[in-house]
Structure 1
Amino acid sequence: MGYVRTALLMAAMTALFMGIGYLLAGSGGMLIALVMAGGMNALTWWKSDQMVLRMHNAQPVAPNDRAGLSDLVAGLARNAGLPMPAVYVIDTDQPNAFATGRNPQNAAVAVTTGLMRSLSREELAGVIAHELAHIRNHDTAIMTVTATFAGAITMLANFALFFGGRRDEGPGIAGTLALMILAPMAAGLVQMAISRTREYSADKAGAEICGQPLWLASALERIQAGAAQIDNDAAERNPATAHMFIINPLHAHARHSLFATHPSTENRVAALRRMAAGSSRAARAPAPVQAVRKAQKGPWG
């Protein structure tokens, strides 16, 4: 079902892209947009993960790194029944994280240096487990596709708005201007809906992977507090990727509303606490976290 949803999403984004091309240059513009969209679909499917990682200047983490981050991810990936994803670090003070990749066999988890400094090992395990849940649920393909297409649609719409299109034909100037404004909003709404509906599911699955819902609940509260105060310059330059992060990296103070890129952090934490209260799991730390506790002290605690 993950691949079907991704295909439907790519088709919808392609149609929106072609609509803007038609307004820019008529049938010829629509054909050019179709060719461009086809190329973007192929590029997005095969290379969008690397594109997003480059946008945020993510650097790969070597296996058996001194901090123990790679070992932590490997242990949690085993818990999740996943192959080992690539691990990246983003040099920014804002605590945050995201996962990307077209499938579990070609996936990556990226965490910020601010996240590693501000969270305990247990909280970090909860965050990584959440990102692994996105990979297992095939959310990363959908989220990465929307990030790439939303950015392209916004760019093309802005070009049409400022440099003109077929405003004297077809729907007329009012209709053209309306679509130029509404197209990026529509792409943004798709991003928001995708992110919001998947975060709760990834929270639940992530809590099950790490075995402790309260670890993730505590991490979400810390990340929310940090993200609201600390800039993430790369995310501000690439707002179309905001929905990929575990907490909105932009200073939008996400609310539980139609235009929020993420569900309310308070609601997510409350759901995790209810999950913890009803859980019969033992309080003993799972093996991946135990292994990291034995490793040499890393940069996050």
Structure 2
Amino acid sequence: MLRIGLFLGTNIAILVLFSIIFKVLGLEQYLAAQGVQGNLTGLLIMCGIFGFAGSFISLLISKWMAKRSTGVQLIDQPRTPEERWLKETVADLAKKAGIGMPEVGIFPAQQSNAFATGWNRNDALVAVSAGLMQRFDREEVRAVLAHEIGHVANGDMVTLSLIQGVLNTFVMFFARILGSIIDRAVFKNNSGHGIGYFMIVMVLQVVLGIFASMIVMWFSRWREFRADASGAHLASRGAMISALQRLQEETQAHVPNQMPDTLTAFGISSGWKEHASRLFMTHPPLSERIETLRRGG
């Protein structure tokens, strides 16, 4: 539940920050003076600007943040046969997927995991954990890399940012519409938006933000099935299933997840227990992913 709280808290904190900016810049007062009901287009545009701003800024700096938060050691010039194999494998998979060569790196975590991030499919980063390199055989590592290349080729990072931007926009928009209605009906404030309106908007953004997060989590789970299918296509179905089974063994053995919470959604495994609340899971249960691959999905 800690990761659920951190994920929701981060998104809600962003919305609260934007609300404070609205207040400081006087945008709330301006819209109130114009009449909310008569300026819905202006309000929607304003919410859209702020709603998408944070999402796309996060996307643009995603590689930089990933490198700093995980301590990724990039492989520019391979120093060992293992590093050479890793970079050559990524190059081969990227060529098959029709994307540009990503940056390749290893991050110091004992949990078996990997992630891909970047602002577009031709400027991505693919990194694997030291633990995965130590415990997985090469066919399984190749399947994991193919899964991550699948995320890049499918444009999952950009799509996730677009979805988050749209949801942020409508959370901010409807929180203000409902806040204005409640402020007028309950507090009889017809002269403008006072402190009551501001507090109502904060509460509504928390509530609506939780529902919006459920939609983001649903998309995150769906894209894992797509990335698994890509991994099976680029590597092999048997190797992809074997890699997921090994990840499942580590999950059942309670190997701690050392991936930063900001990157959990981008890893091949979230490290969450099977009984975590499904509505807030970034990844489907590994058992479901394995069964889907076995059925040919």
SS of the aligned residue for 2:61 comes to helix
| Partners of 1:214 and 1:74 in 2: CA distance | 21
SS of the aligned residue for 1:104 comes to coil
Q: Does the Cα contact within 8 Å between 2:15 and 2:205 map onto a contact in 1?
A: no
| Partners of 1:182 and 1:191 in 2: CA distance | 15
Q: Any gaps of 5 or more consecutive residues in structure 1?
A: 1-12, 151-165, 277-301
Please tell me whether residue 69 in structure 1 is matched to residue 90 in structure 2. no
- TM-score, normalized by length of structure 2? 0.68
Q: Does the Cα contact within 8 Å between 1:23 and 1:176 map onto a contact in 2?
A: no
1:230 to 251, 255, 279: 255
Please tell me whether residue 220 in structure 1 is matched to residue 234 in structure 2. no
Q: Does the Cα contact within 8 Å between 1:102 and 1:138 map onto a contact in 2?
A: no
Q: 1:60: which partner in 2?
A: 74
Stretch moving more, 113-122 or 135-144: 135-144
Deviation of residue 168 (structure 1)? 4.0
| Partners of 1:119 and 1:45 in 2: CA distance | 30
Q: 1:93: which partner in 2?
A: 110
| Partners of 2:22 and 2:141 in 1: CA distance | 50
Q: 2:196: which partner in 1?
A: 169
Q: Any gaps of 5 or more consecutive residues in structure 2?
A: 1-9, 29-45, 168-192
Q: 1:9: which partner in 2?
A: none
Per-residue CA shift, 1:204-241, capped at 9, x if unaligned?
Answer: 1221111x111111111211332452223442xxx242
Q: 1:116: which partner in 2?
A: 133
Q: 1:260: which partner in 2?
A: 281
2:281 partner letter: A
Deviation of residue 260 (structure 1)? 1.7
Stretch moving more, 16-25 or 219-228: 16-25
Structure 1 runs of 4+ aligned residues shifted over 6 Å read 13-16, 31-38, 144-150
CA shift in 2, pair 1:187/1:89, >3 Å? farther
Deviation of residue 274 (structure 1)? 2.0
Q: 1:293: which partner in 2?
A: none
- Paired-residue identity, %: 28
Please tell me whether residue 188 in structure 1 is matched to residue 202 in structure 2. no
Deviation of residue 15 (structure 1)? 11
Q: 2:18: which partner in 1?
A: 21
Q: Does the Cα contact within 8 Å between 1:100 and 1:141 map onto a contact in 2?
A: no
Count of paired positions: 242
Q: Could you say what the CA RMSD is over the residues aligned between the two structures, in angstroms?
A: 3.7
CA shift in 2, pair 1:76/1:35, >3 Å? closer
1:213 partner letter: R
- TM-score, normalized by length of structure 1? 0.67
Q: Does the Cα contact within 8 Å between 1:100 and 1:135 map onto a contact in 2?
A: yes
Q: 2:57: which partner in 1?
A: 43
CA shift in 2, pair 1:263/1:96, >3 Å? same
Q: Does the Cα contact within 8 Å between 1:96 and 1:112 map onto a contact in 2?
A: yes
Deviation of residue 55 (structure 1)? 1.5
Per-residue CA shift, 1:240-292, capped at 9, x if unaligned?
Answer: 4211111113x44465822221112111101111229xxxxxxxxxxxxxxxx
Please tell me whether residue 201 in structure 1 is matched to residue 223 in structure 2. no
Q: Does the Cα contact within 8 Å between 2:118 and 2:125 map onto a contact in 1?
A: yes
CA shift in 2, pair 1:141/1:224, >3 Å? farther
